[in-house]
């Protein structure tokens, strides 16, 4: 299931593909926390990461289930200067990111079923304000965020 990046000798990137089954959320969470610890992330931030990965993976698995997609959900991590960039990539039907962002800015609650899983995305945005939610070129969505592992410079 799991594999390193495109270059087997590259320890700066890791990826895991899991079947779209609810019991695989735990596997995704364990993978992400191990990668974060490998790169020296603070334990409090590892806990935040576990919540964010759980939410993003659950949303992806639900999207696959609703669309009857059996492709795996991919969790990728790549080391950068500031930390580790995590991505959760699915092959579900996707949704309009513009509508979702407008809804998240609104003070109104969306109609039932309009943006199922949006509370999970709101939680991820709270934990990782720089999160990016994009539509994939072919199908599905990608949720990407940076887990900082370098201490902030004192100003």
Tell me which residue range forms the domain holding 117: 13-148
- Is 36 among the domain residues? yes
What is the number of other CB atoms lying within 10 angstroms of the CB of residue 27? 17
With bands split at pLDDT 50, 70 and 90, how would you rate the model's confidence at 99?
low
- Is 56 among the domain residues? yes
Range with the lowest mean pLDDT among 16-20, 96-100, 124-128, 149-153?
96-100
- Is 51 among the domain residues? yes
pLDDT digits (tens, 9 = 90+) for 69-90: 999 999 999 999 999 999 999 9
| CATH number for the domain harbouring residue 30 | 3.30.565.10
Q: Are 10 and 22 a contacting pair, CB within 8 Å?
A: no
With bands split at pLDDT 50, 70 and 90, how would you rate the model's confidence at 51?
very high
Quote the pLDDT of residue 89: 97
* Average of per-residue pLDDT values in the chain: 83
More confident residue, 105 or 130: 130
């Amino acid at each position: 299931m799991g594999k390193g990046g495109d270059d087997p000798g590259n320890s700066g990137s890791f990826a895991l593909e899991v079947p779209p089954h609810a019991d695989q959320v735990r596997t995704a969470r364990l993978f992400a926390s191990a990668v974060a610890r490998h790169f020296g992330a603070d334990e409090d931030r590892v806990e935040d990461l576990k919540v964010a990965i759980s939410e993003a993976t659950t949303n992806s698995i639900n999207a696959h289930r609703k669309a009857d997609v059996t492709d795996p959900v991919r969790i990728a991590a790549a080391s950068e200067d500031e930390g580790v960039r995590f991505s959760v990539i699915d092959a579900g039907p996707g949704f309009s990111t513009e509508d979702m962002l407008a809804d998240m800015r609104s003070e109104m609650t969306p109609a039932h079923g309009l943006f199922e899983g949006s509370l999970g995305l709101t939680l991820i945005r709270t934990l990782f304000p720089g999160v990016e939610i994009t539509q994939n070129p072919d199908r599905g969505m990608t949720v990407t965020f940076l887990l900082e592992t370098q201490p902030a410079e004192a100003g």
